[in-house]
Amino acid sequence: MKLTQHTPTITYQVLTDYTEISKESPLISILKVCKEIGVFNVSELQDFLKPLNNNAVSNLLFRLESLDYLKSIEKEADDWIFSNNETSYELTQMGLNVCLEGKIEEEKRGIIALTIAYPKNADPIIVKLEPLSKDEFQDQENTKSNAKREFNNFINESQHLKNGTFKLKHIENTYALDEEKEQDYTFNFSEESYTSQLLDFSKTVKISKSKVIAELLINKYQSAYDEEQQLIRMPFNHTDLSLKRNISIDNPQYDGLYFNKIELEKLVQISPLDDLEAEKWFTALVVSRIQNYFFSDEEFNMYTEQIAEEFVEYKQGLTNSISRSQLIYKLNEKPADFYIKAKLDTINYLNY
């Protein structure tokens, strides 16, 4: 099952401090090498990072130390580690955590392209975030403004996107980049979960599809839908006698959101409103489905029992509730198809 909402989006260029949480950063691999070595200096690490030269490795270690992933070890007079007079390093607890978790946080500052979606009846969400180079920045001074108030909801909140996880720290200025565009915000359902997606945003929630369908039907039919028995109670209508129906919902509502029209994948059970309606409905179905001639009352009873089974709430009361002769009497009270009466009367003619 799939729900879709056409959702407006706007892309901004934003000057911000932010944290990038990455599983793809090469720094993770370097820290894992450091973990394997244990205690090391620039020259020793450089042996593992060729073709990087010593200056590049030294700059790399300085960066990792400034991020608290490494710490330098105090020199002690007779320690063999410092026999070559180079500073030695080892991982901090934060560095060890990076190796264990396979992800790293990097503090950054710059201009990013930030696409925000505005789902109907829901809070805005960040659906795309791309760091921009100076060449990619479109200097539109006339569109510059202070950070939008709505952006405050995103500060220090992890934004899980296809290209990584980000935390916005502080937004200084925003620049309008594009006009509003509509994108498809989709919810794809499996039996035990759904995944909502829009551009680079994706979120998976564990919930059974049956509960979601129940909410859709409750929102459309209110108290007429019985969640426990999974059926809709409807008034008798002689133009539509089916007890299992394809259900279309014009504006399906789920979790506070409205979506485009859908048709449910499976047929939904229909049930009469009360005993009187059930009797009329049952009789109408019995008459409408007669195709064969009945050569005994037993044949007729088996035929009606099968139809009674379709009435989930009323099958016990409807089973054997009408005999062949009673149905003939009812049909004699009002005009009925000649061939239907003939099929019901067959055994009487034969006996005569």
List the structure tokens of 179: 């006009």
Taking a C-beta distance cutoff of 8 angstroms, is the pair 18, 120 a contact? Answer: no
Q: Which amino acid is at 279?
A: E
List the structure tokens of 259: 């979506």
pLDDT score at 210: 93
| Cα angle: 267, vertex 270, 276; to 5 degrees | 165
Could you tell me the maximum CA-CA distance found in the chain, to the nearest angstrom?
Answer: 125
pLDDT, averaged in runs of 10, over the chain (352 residues): 94 87 86 91 87 89 90 64 70 93 86 90 91 68 58 86 86 72 95 95 94 95 95 95 96 93 95 95 91 81 93 92 82 65 59 50
pLDDT score at 297: 84
| Cα angle: 342, vertex 344, 350; to 5 degrees | 75
List the structure tokens of 39: 């205690």
Please tell me whether the peptide bond between 26 and the residue prior to it is cis, using omega within 30 degrees of 0: no
pLDDT score at 75: 56
Taking a C-beta distance cutoff of 8 angstroms, is the pair 23, 102 a contact? Answer: yes
d(CA 31, CA 69): 8
| Cα angle: 162, vertex 197, 192; to 5 degrees | 110
pLDDT score at 279: 94
Burial 4-41 (b: 16+ CB within 10 A, else e): ebebebbbbbbbbebbbbbeebebbebbeebeeeeebb
**Given 3-state DSSP classes, what are the helix, strand and coil percentages for the chain, each rounded to the nearest 5?**
35, 30, 35
pLDDT score at 309: 95
CATH no. for 24-102? 1.10.10.10
Residue 288 vs residues 56, 284, 307: alpha-carbon distances, Å: 86, 6, 11
d(CA 331, CA 313): 26
pLDDT score at 77: 46
Q: Give the residues across from 49 on adjacent strands.
A: none
Question: What angle, rounded to 10 degrees, do the helices at 297-308 and 275-288 form?
Answer: 130
d(CA 18, CA 109): 6
pLDDT score at 41: 87
Enumerate the domain spans of the chain. 2-21+108-184, 24-102, 209-271, 275-351
List the structure tokens of 105: 């946080």
